[in-house]
Structure 1
Amino acid sequence: MAIATAKLTDPTVRAAVIAINAGDRQAFVDLLTPDATMSDDGSDRDLQDWIDREIFTVRGHMEVRSEADGGRALVADFRNETWGEMRTAWRFTVEHGRIGRFETGQA
């Protein structure tokens, strides 16, 4: 059973999930630190290219199934128009209310 987005513990992560599900790229980018980084399945990627290719140009959407680490570690069913739906793990590093890094991959 999914966790309602409004009930996610960490406010920054909650805002990120809301932005992803709304297709609001600018709101998502506004949550990132200027030097934010990310990795996908253990490999660092170009963050701006990745979020466009995997989330915002292909209607990415997350249904969070569980959270840990104060809401900064999620397991979610993620879907987009490229890959369909898959179970994914997400880990966010939040600094002063902004995301400095996130890591994702298949769960």
Structure 2
Amino acid sequence: MGIRDMIEGKKQWRAHMARVKALPPDYQIVYKEMQRYFFKVGPVDLLEGTLLSGIVDFFEEGVAGGKGVLELIGDDVAAFCDDLIKDSRTNADIYQESISGKSGPAER
């Protein structure tokens, strides 16, 4: 990764966070909790994928439709997050494989 790639990545991240800050406060709170959850447990390809920007798109549509954030995702934010990444390889999967001695699909 070159310096230009890092600079471009920072620009994209700042633009993404500007979109988050434009959301109503309740949406921002839920987004930040989801982001924290994904960074802790989430998919290995989180930063390369479109998961976070897709969530912002989804939230922007909800705001435009006049819905509250919990109307969109339900009361259990973690369950909603788990459903989004159910088919993705996660950091938790890698950890479980490392302590059990099994090799994951990438290591085979």
What is the TM-score when the length of structure 2 is the normalising length? 0.30
* Bigger strand share: 1
Report which of the two has the higher share of helix. 2
| TM-score normalized by the length of structure 1 | 0.30
Rg larger in structure: 2
